[in-house]
């Protein structure tokens, strides 16, 4: 029982660490051009909201507590239909991860995230843990 507890804690710490690394890579490789500042801010804020929600839902599942017990930032800019779907699904982390991946792909293609393909691939690998 004691060893399972520590194994679980270790896995949670590892997941948080690799998610943080992927998250920080995306911030670091945002386009630095002043004319793209608005798009970059919007991307970073959406990324921040989704990562906050992902961690909240993950901790909620681990502890068996309602996700409202954990503080997270409200989703702004995501339509009502999507948020209702998220509320009603039992696979919240999968949905949020799909939203994160879609956000990254769209902003990589548009040039908001100016990241080399091997590093971007690494970000996706870290998010998939």
pLDDT tens track, the chain, 129 positions:
788 888 877 888 888 888 888 899 999 999 999 999 999 999 999 999 898 888 888 777 777 666 555 555 566 777 778 878 888 888 888 898 999 999 999 999 999 999 999 999 999 988 887
Q: What residues contact 120, with CB distance under 8 A and at least 6 apart?
A: 104, 108, 113
pTM of the model: 0.80
With both helix axes pointing from N to C terminus, report the angle between 92-110 and 80-88 in degrees, rounded to the nearest 10: 150
Going by C-alpha positions, the residue among 17, 31, 52, 32 that lies closest to residue 127 is: 17
Q: State the first-to-last Cα distance of the chain, in angstroms, to the nearest integer.
A: 24
Going by C-alpha positions, the residue among 108, 127, 113, 128 that lies closest to residue 33 is: 113
């Amino acid at each position: 029982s004691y060893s399972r507890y520590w194994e679980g804690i270790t896995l949670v710490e590892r997941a948080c660490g690799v998610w943080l690394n992927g998250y920080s890579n995306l911030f670091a490789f945002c386009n630095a051009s002043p004319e793209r500042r608005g798009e970059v801010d919007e991307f970073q804020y959406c990324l921040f909201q989704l990562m906050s929600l992902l961690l909240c839902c993950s901790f909620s599942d681990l502890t068996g507590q309602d996700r409202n017990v954990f503080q997270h930032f409200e989703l702004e800019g995501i339509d009502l239909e999507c948020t209702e779907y998220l509320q009603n699904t039992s696979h919240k982390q999968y949905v949020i991860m799909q939203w994160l991946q879609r956000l990254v792909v769209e902003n990589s293609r548009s040039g908001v995230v100016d990241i080399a393909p091997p590093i971007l691939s690494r970000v996706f690998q870290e998010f998939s843990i």
